[in-house]
């Protein structure tokens, strides 16, 4: 076997390894398996490509996205390697030829989608010539506790053993310790080495600003408009298509800018991406649909105009800035309203367990259709379908030979409670990050399990003077008194949590906890206090929190360190009065309803799709909702996709649905069923 460094030079043309690549390549080349967690842009692909060549066999690469698969195959072929792919977008004769090439040993790399392993006989065929290495890309999709769980990935643990003894490398950019454990357990890699590296970004300054939604568009215009060349190119992530179009139109008046979201046709999205990649466009305003496969090294700024759903998703998105190593900035505009909107969606998608219990009990001793169950329980068909989907996923319901829904196992409740709890924990974590008063980068790397809590020196907490949006002021006399009392409490006992300090240094009701955290953040920004991330594990879950420590300089200067402090000169972090829970939910629901009403699905296409879905369900002997959910059906009727690439952008349509039903759906949308 050739040495990895020789292969790096002679076959890949690189002068040296990037940080942490050499260890992974040597480990895999020797035949050991590994879990590799490295950030986007750090060079994970080489960590399976080079060992595969070193081992001399054919590598099997399992990848979830067709676009990424095509990109990887194209690059490998351009480098002189023999690479091919099998996925739903390839003609069957070409896929058949690829199968022959694999069996004959003519391939260095074969890329497949995870759902391909569900095809009867496919794994057995692969095993005729076992791979020299197996790479599982985007491995966080395996875990139900990840931010992008895909059921087809869950089956890999059952399929891969038939292809052993090849070493396995599971790769991802975003995996918390809990997700890392789950990946290893599901793939049988408990004894494999975990290579967890590189979450700390030395050149990326993070700035989080609590701001009313009404001010955010104006702020982005000031940030990226005229005389903002040093902050460009930029990506602006927004929460909705409507906001995407509106903000892009405003920015286009002063800078080359285009929108990007799933509601645009594929050719428009491709043109926008190409224009941004080439530099013809300096700003992309996008929903989270944008970014996968983007290889643009010089992005200077990433802005979020609302609170993301998870820390993992946020980290992945800001990771698209500064890949060239030059100074870059990530700016998050957030507020309490964002948190409430996420909670509304959570309550909508995960109804009280009692509602699922009613459906489960109604299935007792008999089978039924969605219509029958909905009528029995006085539910609309959409709610009944949604509840049944949840029960089927949890094993609480199934489908009999006649395609009717039947009751499943009784132990679905703990699994449902765990899913709801996990989603709430994800919301808690991302809001705590945005509202935190410690170093932003230290908080991020701690979230992913790294123990490096050194201050980054460049974020809004570590270097407030470098902020581009936040402004600061001197404390009022009352605030100065409170700052002195906080320092005094830490002099008595260092390392207290913010909650402990709030209870110790202040009188009950004197200042709410969020205003108190502003004062603590001011001390941290001034270098008087160091906020150190900490964590403990409870019931298998990692609970993150912070401790406050006086710095050496503050200990020497005592309460005079309060004179070093400047405080954010922003709008109040919390309004004097917030509406009650019901009023906030009603307001959020009205906003969502209004936004969705602007994009009504085509009624004629809805009718045609329902007819197609019913016929398909009858032919397979399953319930209609198993073919296509109402939510996905309405989204298709609204977007009217014309190609498989466009169809893949519709929420609820993954690779498996595309392969099984893509042709029928597209023909129905075009009005030529059976053509």
Average of per-residue pLDDT across 257-280: 85
Q: Give dist(CA 410, CA 394) in Å, integer.
A: 10
- Residue 62: inside a domain: yes
Task: Give burial (CB, 10 Å; 0-12/13-18/19+) of 227.
Answer: exposed
- Residue 431: inside a domain: no
Please indicate, yes or no, whether residues 16 and 80 belong to a single structural domain of this protein. yes
Domain range spanning residue 186?
Answer: 4-196
C-alpha separations of 250 from 149, 244, 283, 598, 662 in Å = 36, 10, 12, 20, 36
pLDDT at 283 (0 to 100): 92
Q: Give dist(CA 206, CA 433) in Å, integer.
A: 11
pLDDT at 655 (0 to 100): 67
Please indicate, yes or no, whether residues 610 and 557 belong to a single structural domain of this protein. no
Model confidence at 577, pLDDT cuts 50, 70, 90, reads very low
Model confidence at 585, pLDDT cuts 50, 70, 90, reads very low
C-alpha separations of 90 from 107, 644, 659, 664, 669 in Å = 17, 11, 10, 16, 21
pLDDT at 589 (0 to 100): 45
Please indicate, yes or no, whether residues 17 and 127 belong to a single structural domain of this protein. yes
- Residue 265: inside a domain: no
Please indicate, yes or no, whether residues 186 and 114 belong to a single structural domain of this protein. yes
- Residue 460: inside a domain: no
Q: Give dist(CA 169, CA 139) in Å, integer.
A: 9
pLDDT at 61 (0 to 100): 92
Give 155's DSSP letter. T
Count of domains observed in the chain: 3
pLDDT at 88 (0 to 100): 72
User: Where a domain ends, among 129, 164, 196?
Assistant: 196
SS3 state at 228: coil
SS3 state at 543: strand
Q: Of 658, 650, 666, which Cα lies nearest the Cα of 261? A: 650
- Residue 475: inside a domain: yes
Dump pLDDT digits (tens) for 89-114.
777 888 888 888 888 888 899 998 88
pLDDT at 588 (0 to 100): 44
User: Where a domain ends, among 150, 168, 196?
Assistant: 196
CB 61 within 8 A of CB 72: yes
Beta strand residue intervals within 187-310, DSSP E: 193-196, 204-210, 234-237, 257-260, 283-286, 301-304
- Residue 106: inside a domain: yes
- Residue 485: inside a domain: yes
The residue ranking higher by pLDDT, 597 or 480, is 480
pTM: 0.67
Q: Of 95, 115, 99, which Cα lies nearest the Cα of 107? A: 99
pLDDT at 290 (0 to 100): 62
CATH number at residue 497: 1.10.10.10
pLDDT at 206 (0 to 100): 95
Please indicate, yes or no, whether residues 539 and 615 belong to a single structural domain of this protein. no
Please indicate, yes or no, whether residues 549 and 607 belong to a single structural domain of this protein. no
Q: Where are the alpha helices (DSSP H) in 436-512?
A: 440-447, 477-492, 498-505
Model confidence at 428, pLDDT cuts 50, 70, 90, reads confident
pLDDT > 90 fraction of the chain, expressed in percent and rounded: 11
Please indicate, yes or no, whether residues 530 and 641 belong to a single structural domain of this protein. no
Statement: residue 579 has pLDDT above 50: no
Out of 255-259, 298-302, 539-543, least confident range: 539-543
Task: Answer positive or negative: Cα dihedral of 549, 551, 552, 555.
Answer: negative
Statement: residue 542 has pLDDT above 60: yes
Model confidence at 151, pLDDT cuts 50, 70, 90, reads low
């Amino acid at each position: 076997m050739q040495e990895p460094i020789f292969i790096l030079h002679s076959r890949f043309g690189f002068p040296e390894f990037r940080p942490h690549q050499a260890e992974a390549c040597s480990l895999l080349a020797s035949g050991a398996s590994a879990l590799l967690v490295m950030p986007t842009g750090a060079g994970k692909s080489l960590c399976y490509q080079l060992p595969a060549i070193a081992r001399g066999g054919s590598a099997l690469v399992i990848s979830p996205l067709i676009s990424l698969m095509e990109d990887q195959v194209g690059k490998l072929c351009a480098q002189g390697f023999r690479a091919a792919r099998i996925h739903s977008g390839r003609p069957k004769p070409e896929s058949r030829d690829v199968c022959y090439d694999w069996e004959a040993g003519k391939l260095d790399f074969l890329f497949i989608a995870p759902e391909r392993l569900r095809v009867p006989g496919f794994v057995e065929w692969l095993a005729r010539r076992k791979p020299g290495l197996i790479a599982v890309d985007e491995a966080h999709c395996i875990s139900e506790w990840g931010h992008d769980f895909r059921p087809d990935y869950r089956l890999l643990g059952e399929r891969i053993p038939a292809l052993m003894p090849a070493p396995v490398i599971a790769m991802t950019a975003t995996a918390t310790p809990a997700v890392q454990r789950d990946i290893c357990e599901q793939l049988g890699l408990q004894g494999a080495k975990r290579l967890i590296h590189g979450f700390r970004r030395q050149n990326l300054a993070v700035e989080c600003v609590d701001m009313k939604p009404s001010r955010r568009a104006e702020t982005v215009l000031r940030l990226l408009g005229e005389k903002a060349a040093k902050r460009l190119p930029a990506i602006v992530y927004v929460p909705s298509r409507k906001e995407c179009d509106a903000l892009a139109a405003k920015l286009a008046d002063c800078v080359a800018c285009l929108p990007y979201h799933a509601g645009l046709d594929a050719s428009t999205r491709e043109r926008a991406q190409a224009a941004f990649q080439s530099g013809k466009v300096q700003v992309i305003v996008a929903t989270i649909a944008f970014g996968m496969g983007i290889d643009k090294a010089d992005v200077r700024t990433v802005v979020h105009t609302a609170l993301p759903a998870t820390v993992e998703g946020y980290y992945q998105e800001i990771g698209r800035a500064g890949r060239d190593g030059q100074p870059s900035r990530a700016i998050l505009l957030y507020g309490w309203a964002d948190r409430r909107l996420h909670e509304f969606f959570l309550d909508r998608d995960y109804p009280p367990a009692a509602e699922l219990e009613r459906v489960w009990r109604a299935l007792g001793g008999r089978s039924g259709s969605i219509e029958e169950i909905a009528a029995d329980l006085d539910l609309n068909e959409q709610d009944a379908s949604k509840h049944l989907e949840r029960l089927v996923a949890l094993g609480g319901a199934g489908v009999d030979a006649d395609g009717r829904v039947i009751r499943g196992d009784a132990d679905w409740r703990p699994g449902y409670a765990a899913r709801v709890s996990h989603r709430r924990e994800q919301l808690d974590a991302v809001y705590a990050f945005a509202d935190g008063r410690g170093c932003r980068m230290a908080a991020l790397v701690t979230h992913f399990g790294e123990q490096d809590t050194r201050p980054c020196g460049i974020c809004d907490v570590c270097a407030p003077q470098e902020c581009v949006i936040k402004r600061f002021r001197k404390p009022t006399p009352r605030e100065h008194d409170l700052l002195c009392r906080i320092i005094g409490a830490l002099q008595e006992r260092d390392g207290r949590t913010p909650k402990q300090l709030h209870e110790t240094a202040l009188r009950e009701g004197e200042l709410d906890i969020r205003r108190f955290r502003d004062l603590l953040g001011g001390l941290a920004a001034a270098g008087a206090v160091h906020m150190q991330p900490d964590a403990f594990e409870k019931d298998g879950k990692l609970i993150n929190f912070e401790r406050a420590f006086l710095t050496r300089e503050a200990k020497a200067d005592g309460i005079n360190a309060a004179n070093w402090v400047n405080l954010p000169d922003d709008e109040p972090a919390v309004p004097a009065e917030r509406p009650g829970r019901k009023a906030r939910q009603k307001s959020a629901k009205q906003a969502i309803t209004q936004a969705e009403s602007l994009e009504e699905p085509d009624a004629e296409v809805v009718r045609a799709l329902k007819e197609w879905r019913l016929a398909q369900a009858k032919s397979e002997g399953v319930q209609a909702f198993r073919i296509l959910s109402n939510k996905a059906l309405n989204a298709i009727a609204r977007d009217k996709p014309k190609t498989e690439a466009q169809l893949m952008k519709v929420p609820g349509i993954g690779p498996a649905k595309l392969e099984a039903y893509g042709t029928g759906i597209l023909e129905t949308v075009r009005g030529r069923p059976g053509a």
